Amino acid sequence: MNIGQEVLELLKEEITDVQYNRYIKQLTYDAKKSGGDLAIFYAPNALISNWIKSKYSEKIAHLFEIKSGSKVSVKITLKNSTDSKSKKQKNEQKQHSLLNPSHTFDNFMVGGSNQFAYAAVKSVSEAAGQVYNPLFIYGGVGLGKTHLMQAAGNVFQNQGKSVIYTSVEQFLNDFIRHVRNKTMPSFQEKYRKCDVLLIDDIQFLSNKEGIQEEFFHTFEALKGNGKQIILTADKHPKKIGGLEKRLQSRFEWGLVADIQPPELETKIAIIKKKCEINKVKLSNDIINYIATVIESNVREIEGILSKLHAYSQLMHIDIDLAFTKNVLKDQLQENRANLTLDTITNNVAKDLNIKPTEIRSKGRSKNLVYARRISIYLCRELTQNTMPQLAQYFGMKDHTAISHTLKKINELMKNDEDFKVKIEELTNKITSAS
């Protein structure tokens, strides 16, 4: 048994049989291409690969570290995505991480939330080193930073440029290895002579002085030669603590662009795109449902799609709305565990421009009744509170008053399109902010 298989065996003990059989069992380890600080696994399709990446890759990396005693970066990829590459590309890839070939501009859905970052990366991809250098993209988890950065990387790679895509951690490991082997000149040659350097999640440089120093010199050399640098982080350079001043200011030299959580339309477009790529058929009401209830994190949306796909295949069931709701139940409960009645009421109040205390008052004016109905409905849907708890919170007599209100709301949901839209909009807003 090779180390990859051993690691998967270890993982088997930590997860349920269903999870193991459905996903992990489908992985094959490439003992030939793996080695050093790289472990490559192949998945049979993009859905399984994405699902494993989002759910298990950290665990696998951790188990690898336990087994091998050193840090490795785990790549879950599709078999033919590496086999079909030319020899030259293969050699290049040996030196650094693979760019995901499906992270292209075409596959990236643009909306208000990400159009600034998109436009910035796009123009950099059309004129390396000439417009914004460095380009710094920041935003929350799963909002498409890596995707965008690699989309530019793929463009450059197709032009025959030498592109290095790496994480701070890999950069650091590489550095340490070269220091240990006394081969620093080749480290410097590698990082200072490439055409394009992409470093993901640069916030991990924080408080690592030694590597900041090395990175500073790499940066200076590349920038001095007009080579393009693209960086991503979870926050604005100013907000990353533990960074040398000179680095922080350099990060802002070019352009700093943010990515915000996608709005409903963008989420819908992304889901449609992912369905197309992964050949999953979903009706519009299912797509709308997923877009409405799922948090902003796009990676999570992908997880849902592969889960739906896998379940429907295993159980030979067509994916309908009821089935979707069922599959999403656990996921939603996880997301919503942190939502409180106050959060929901405050959000509704803010949106409707009234005071939260008014919602909980006995006021009977039309807009208060409207706001209260919406709040009650959302509190019922998005939290685990019982009807008596809700009655107490909203200052109503008892649970029958709540139950009466919920009945009324259900009628409105059926007959009043505006009301329904408002509910969806607020659900979306509240669940993506949590």
Contact characters 211-250, ligand ADP, x per CB under 6 A: ----------------------------------------
Alpha helices by DSSP H, 294-398: 298-315, 321-336, 341-352, 356-359, 366-382, 387-393
What does the block give as tokens for 363? 């006021």
What residues contact 378, with CB distance under 8 A and at least 6 apart?
Answer: 344, 348, 423, 426, 427, 430
- Select 170 or 375, whichever has its Cβ closest to ligand ADP: 170
Kindly tell me which of 46 and 426 has the beta carbon lying closer to ligand ADP: 46
Judged by beta carbon, residue 46 or residue 341, the one nearer Mg ion is 46
Query: Closer to ligand ADP at the Cβ: 269 or 327?
Result: 269
144 near ligand ADP (CB under 6 A): yes
Residue 368 touches which of Mg ion, ligand ADP, none (Cβ within 5-8 Å per kind): none
Q: Smallest distance from the beta carbon of 139 to ligand ADP, in angstroms?
A: 6
In whole angstroms, how far apart are CA 208 and each of 14, 136, 186, 212, 243? 32, 19, 22, 6, 8
Q: How far apart are CA 134 and CA 329, in angstroms?
A: 42
Q: Based on the shown chain and the rule CB under 5 A, indicate whether residue 100 belongs to the binding site for Mg ion.
A: no
Query: From the CB of 300, what's the least distance to ligand ADP, in Å?
Result: 9
Give dist(CA 265, CA 112) in Å, integer: 9
Q: Does 145 contact ligand ADP by CB under 6 A?
A: yes
Over the range 30-55, which residues count as b (16 or more CB within 10 Å of their CB) and which as e?
beeebeebbbbbbbeebbbbbbbbbb
144 binds, among Mg ion, ligand ADP, none (CB under 5 to 8 A by kind): ligand ADP
Q: In terms of Cα–Cα distance, which of 8, 30, 28 is closest to 19?
A: 8
Q: CB 64 → ligand ADP: shortest distance, Å?
A: 21
For ligand ADP, which residue of 22, 55, 96, 147 counts as binding (CB under 6 A)? 147
Name residue, tokens 């501009």.
105
DSSP label of 424: H
Is 50 or 228 the residue whose CB approaches ligand ADP more closely? Answer: 50
Does position 298 interact with ligand ADP (CB under 6 A)? The reply is yes
Q: Pick the binder of ligand ADP from 195, 258, 295, 302 (CB under 6 A).
A: 302
Task: Name the residue nearer to ligand ADP (CB basis): 4 or 303.
Answer: 303
Task: Give dist(CA 209, CA 219) in Å, integer.
Answer: 15
- Taking residues 329 to 348 in sequence order and writing x for each that binds Mg ion by CB under 5 A, - otherwise, the string is --------------------
For residues 182 and 186, what is the distance between their CA atoms, to the nearest angstrom?
9
The window from 61-69, 74-82, 298-306, 362-370 that contacts ligand ADP (CB under 6 A) reads 298-306
Cβ-proximal residues to 18 (8 Å cutoff; 6+ apart), any chain? none
Amino acid at 141: V
Of the candidates 141, 179, 184, 314, which one interacts with ligand ADP according to CB under 6 A? Answer: 141
Instruction: Kindly report whether the peptide bond that precedes residue 185 is cis, defined as omega within 30 degrees of 0.
Output: no
Cα 153 to Cα 230: distance, rounded to the nearest angstrom: 9
100-139 mask for ligand ADP (x: CB under 6 A)? -------xxx----x------------------------x
Closest distance of CB 42 from ligand ADP, Å: 18
Instruction: Show contacts with ligand ADP in window 367-406 (CB under 6 A).
Output: none
Binding pattern to ligand ADP, positions 262-281, x when CB under 6 A?
--------x--x--------
Pick from 362, 332, 140, 329: nearest CA to 233: 140
Choosing among ligand ADP, Mg ion, none, which partner's interface includes residue 303 (Cβ < 5 to 8 Å by kind)? none
| Whole-number Å distance between alpha carbons of 364 and 376 | 15
- Regarding 146 and contact with Mg ion (CB under 5 A), the answer is yes
Q: With CB under 6 A as the rule, give the number of residues binding ligand ADP.
A: 17
Minimal distance in Å, beta carbon 204 to ligand ADP? 13
| Cβ 93 vs Cβ 73: under 8 Å | no
142 scored as a contact of ligand ADP (CB under 6 A) = yes
By beta-carbon proximity to Mg ion, the closer residue of 4 and 139 is: 139
CA 136, CA 148: separation in Å to the nearest integer?
A: 11
Q: Which residue, 53 or 145, is less far from Mg ion as judged by CB?
A: 145
Sheet hosting strand 163-167, strand order edge to edge:
163-167, 196-200, 228-233, 135-139, 255-259
CB of 141 to Mg ion, least distance (A): 8
Q: 245-253 long-range CB contacts below 8 Å, 24 or more apart?
A: 246/216, 247/205, 247/212, 247/215, 247/216, 247/219, 250/134, 250/216, 250/219, 250/223, 251/134, 251/136, 251/202, 252/136, 253/133, 253/134, 253/223
Give me the residues that bind ligand ADP (CB under 6 A), please: 107-109, 114, 139, 141-147, 270, 273, 298-299, 302
Give me the residues that bind Mg ion (CB under 5 A), please: 145-146
